[in-house]
Structure 1
Amino acid sequence: MVKGKSHKERCRSSKKQIEMKIDVQLELEKLQVVVVVVVVVVVVVVVVVVVVVVVVVVVVVVKVVIVVVFVVVVVVVKVVVIVVVVVFVEVVVVVKVVVGLGFAG
């Protein structure tokens, strides 16, 4: 008389299946936690990298603007000095000519 599994064996088998389902669910929950942690870490790293890149770009742009402003100011000062010197020399030459003509006349 072979009926298959006895009641006791069926209960053990059912208990093992339930335990396996619970184990699988626990493993899935652990994996979900790991995935969430990995995603959070990746997002934080990406945000930090973006902030660093933005700060570096801003610093470089500010330095370039400072250098350009300095060069423009230096060039403008040189041009103004040259114009003042040329005008002064012209005035001196004109005064000498006028004074010279005055003494000659």
Structure 2
Amino acid sequence: GRAGEIYNASAATDVTSRRLSEAMAAAVGVPLRDISAEDAKAQLGATVAFFLAAENRASGEKARRELGWTPRGPGILEEIGSSKGSYGELAKALRKQ
């Protein structure tokens, strides 16, 4: 790639913040609850609330096109849900808290 360029290594582009939240909640063993936009702003701050509500999905298309990158291995949702994945130890530690 060219100096200064930014690339996303993302195999899937259909993963929403909601789906990520569901996967993380399941991995840690906590219930997921919906809150209003106003409550999200009050609890998380306007910037985080805006980011979570936005249609903001990572795409690996630029990395595929410019670098010839090909995704391998599990997708992000499978990785989060796997006890053997990189999120497994973190989820295990969080469940103990």
TM over 0.5: same fold?
no
Bigger relative contact order (CA 8 A; separation at least 6)? 2
Query: Which structure has the larger Rg over C-alpha atoms?
Result: 1
Q: TM-score, normalised by structure 1?
A: 0.16
Q: TM-score, normalised by structure 2?
A: 0.17
